[in-house]
Copies of this chain bind each other. A is one copy, B any other.
Amino acid sequence: MQPAMYSGRQWLDAIAIANRGLNYGDGLFETMRVHCGELPLWPRHRARLQEGAARLGIVLPDASFIQARIEECIANVDADVLKLLVTRGDGGRGYAPPADVDPVWALSLHSLPQAISTGLRLHVCETRLAPQPALAGIKHCNRLEQVLARLEVQRAGCDEGLMRNTESHPVCATSANLLAHRNGRWWTPPVETCGVAGVLRGWLLGQGLVEVAALSMDEVLHADALALCNAVRGILPVSMLGSRTWVASPAIHDLQVQLAMAYPMFSAAAVTA
């Protein structure tokens, strides 16, 4: 399927050079798992998108219009990834947004990433997440920190990267949240000053399966088990962080089973399909 682009409710032929997403990363996005013609986590993605739009002062297109376009897009899709990109729109005088502007947004389908049968090897990234409460938690399009961290991961030959804040506390991976198992419970770092409030992290917190706690690097390295989670891949075990290694953990298996009961698309069979 070709990407579908819109300006407000109008079909769009091309992205303008004056698009504010292109020039300033002035936009938001959601990357969503499609399962049997549906987006099981859509309400959580929509809520985060609305929160981001409110924080940035971006006017979203009509919710029912977006929803109808999404339904058209994924009606016959069995298992895939749908990306929704919403930019503030075009133009304005430099950084100052124009007064009345239609958001320019797009839907595109992408293949599911390859399943990883073994645990993830994590690189400890030097690129830090800067503290910025105004942008923390939301899925905005200013992602150079993640791009730089990903370049580090590539150079290190690892699968993903652990990103730390300026106080050297672990926060998240480049495109997933961090889960650490300690003393029989699962913990995930706060995302009030940096990092993204992942949709699956939100579900795990809501279910009481995971709790929020600031973790030191030492606490993460000494965790009984480490995992990453995101809304596309579910819960993935970590096998290596720097020189520390972990073997398969029943705590991770338990969490994966709980998730698969609520969302069968994340069952091991679906993930490796």
Chain A residues within 8 Å of B, Cβ to Cβ = 3, 5, 14-27, 29, 31, 56-57, 85, 87-88, 93-97, 106, 108, 113, 127-128, 130-132, 134-135, 140-151, 153-154, 166, 174-175
B94 pairs with A24, CB closer than 8 A: no
B14 pairs with A141, CB closer than 8 A: no
Q: How far is the CB of A94 from chain B (nearest CB, A)?
A: 5
Option from B57, B94, B144 in Cβ contact (under 8 Å) with A142: B144
Q: How far is the CB of A225 from chain B (nearest CB, A)?
A: 25
List residues of chain B with CB within 8 A of the CB of A21. 22-23, 25
- The answer to whether A145 and B132 touch (CB under 8 A), given A95-B150, A96-B153, A96-B154, is yes
Number of copies: 2
Ordered by A's residue number, 30 sampled pairs between the chains whose C-beta atoms are within 8 Å are A3-B17, A5-B17, A14-B14, A15-B15, A17-B85, A17-B106, A20-B147, A21-B22, A21-B23, A22-B85, A23-B29, A24-B25, A24-B141, A24-B142, A25-B144, A57-B151, A94-B174, A94-B175, A95-B143, A95-B146, A95-B149, A95-B150, A95-B174, A96-B154, A97-B147, A97-B151, A131-B131, A132-B145, A134-B148, A142-B143
Q: Which of A22, A26, A85, A174 is most buried by chain B, counting CB atoms within 10 A of its CB?
A: A22
Q: How far is the CB of A255 from chain B (nearest CB, A)?
A: 23
A59 CA to B188 CA, complexed, in Å: 37
List residues of chain B with CB within 8 A of the CB of A25. 21, 24-25, 141-144
List residues of chain B with CB within 8 A of the CB of A147. 20, 24, 26, 56, 88, 95, 97
B134 pairs with A23, CB closer than 8 A: no
Q: How far is the CB of A68 from chain B (nearest CB, A)?
A: 20
* Known contacts A18-B108, A88-B147; 17 further A-B pairs (Cβ under 8 A): A15-B15, A15-B22, A19-B22, A20-B147, A21-B23, A21-B25, A22-B22, A22-B85, A24-B143, A25-B144, A26-B144, A26-B147, A93-B113, A95-B147, A97-B151, A131-B166, A140-B144
List residues of chain B with CB within 8 A of the CB of A16. 15
